[in-house]
């Protein structure tokens, strides 16, 4: 017995993967339930809008916005070739979420391309598995607003990581991150928006680091990141730039605009004779060098 279109619609709607369709102008024509679950956007909010209208707004880990350069949907509709990519989509709450996307062309009965279908699945299970913290630490050392480690966790992990370096020579790096113009956000939009920005930044850092890395809120709008196994300046620079770009590309919708923030970062590798205090002081001074050099940048030392 032939199956009607409603059967296929229900089937797609109940898939675990996010599935959405666009026409040749990249206007969204279908949005399944998994899309709602993964992105936070309901179908009423997105159907009839372009996928580049501050909805998913895919970017690479280097911050390149694919809607402007290298959109897989556009490329597939141009040459008919399927594509796959690891990207970071914009969640409705503002943070960046790692996903694996697959794009295929949609054709009419004559074989003409009339749009494209993108499927995506969140990589959170994989990413979260890389940075779980012990259950006991969850109750004692997690900052309740940002959901990253608190200062106690940062100080403790930095101390033990230096002791490990002294015993085994295991290299690592430290980032000192300070959000730019954060007081202006609080003064302009209120402390509730400031808290949302801190929560968004915490999510961006927490989701996009490795299991061996440690993120902690140092105080106010300051964070430190301990990057285990960071061997050289190039690796340190790449990791710091990845986080700086992802923070810059995250935003929160507000009224008819969007609120975003940038970060100034100081980055340093452990040196013989370092203490927790000397490493933080050096990274902090490098962060201030980023501030005085124009903000939204990484300074190594």
Digit-by-digit pLDDT tens for the chain (301 residues) are 344 556 667 788 888 899 999 999 999 999 999 999 999 999 999 999 987 676 788 888 778 888 777 788 889 999 999 998 888 888 999 888 888 899 999 998 898 999 999 998 876 655 555 555 455 556 678 898 999 999 999 999 999 999 999 988 999 999 999 999 999 999 999 999 999 999 999 999 999 998 889 999 999 999 999 999 999 999 999 999 999 999 999 999 988 889 999 999 999 999 999 999 999 999 999 999 999 999 999 999 9
CA contacts within 13 A on the Cβ side of 279: 26
Q: Which domains does the chain have, with CATH numbers?
A: 5-123 (3.30.450.20), 130-300 (3.30.70.270)
pLDDT of residue 138: 60
Active site residues: 221
C-alpha dihedral sign at 237, 241, 244, 247: negative
**What pLDDT was estimated at residue 131?**
52
18 three-class SS: strand
Nearest to 65 by CA among 267, 295, 250, 193: 250
Within 8 A by CB and 6+ apart from 301, the residues are: 266, 267, 268, 282, 285, 286, 289
Q: Which of 182, 202, 187 is nearest to 261 (CA)?
A: 182
d(CA 297, CA 34): 36
Task: List, edge to edge, every strand of the sheet that includes 298-300.
Answer: 214-219, 222-228, 172-179, 263-269, 298-300
3-class DSSP state of 268: strand
pLDDT of residue 140: 75
> pTM for the complete prediction?
0.66
């Amino acid at each position: 017995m032939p199956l009607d279109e409603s059967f296929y619609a229900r089937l797609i709607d109940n898939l675990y993967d996010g599935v959405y369709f666009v026409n040749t102008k990249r206007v969204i024509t279908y949005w399944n339930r998994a899309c709602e679950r993964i992105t936070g956007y309901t179908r009423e909010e997105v159907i009839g809008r372009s996928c580049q209208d501050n909805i998913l707004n895919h970017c690479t880990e280097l911050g390149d916005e694919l809607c402007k350069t290298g959109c897989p949907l556009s490329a597939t509709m141009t040459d008919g070739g399927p594509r796959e990519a690891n990207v970071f989509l914009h969640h409705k709450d503002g943070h960046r979420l790692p996903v694996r996307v697959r794009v295929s062309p949609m054709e009419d009965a004559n074989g003409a391309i009339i749009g494209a279908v993108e499927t995506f699945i969140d990589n959170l299970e994989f990413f979260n598995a890389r940075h779980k913290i012990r259950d006991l630490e969850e109750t004692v050392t997690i900052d309740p607003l940002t959901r990253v480690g608190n200062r106690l966790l940062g100080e403790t992990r930095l101390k033990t990581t230096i002791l490990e370096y002294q015993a085994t020579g295991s290299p690592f790096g430290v980032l000192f991150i300070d959000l730019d113009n954060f007081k202006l956000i609080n003064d302009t939009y209120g402390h509730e928006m400031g808290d949302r920005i801190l929560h968004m930044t915490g999510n961006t850092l927490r989701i996009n680091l490795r299991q061996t890395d440690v993120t902690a809120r140092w105080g106010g709008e300051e964070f430190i990141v301990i990057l285990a196994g960071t061997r050289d300046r190039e690796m340190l620079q790449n990791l710091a730039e990845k986080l700086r770009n992802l923070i810059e590309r995250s935003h929160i919708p507000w009224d008819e605009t969007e609120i975003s923030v940038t970060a100034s970062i100081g980055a340093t590798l452990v040196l013989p004779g370092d203490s927790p205090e000397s490493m933080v002081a050096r990274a902090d001074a490098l962060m201030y060098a980023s501030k005085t050099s124009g903000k939204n940048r990484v300074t190594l030392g």
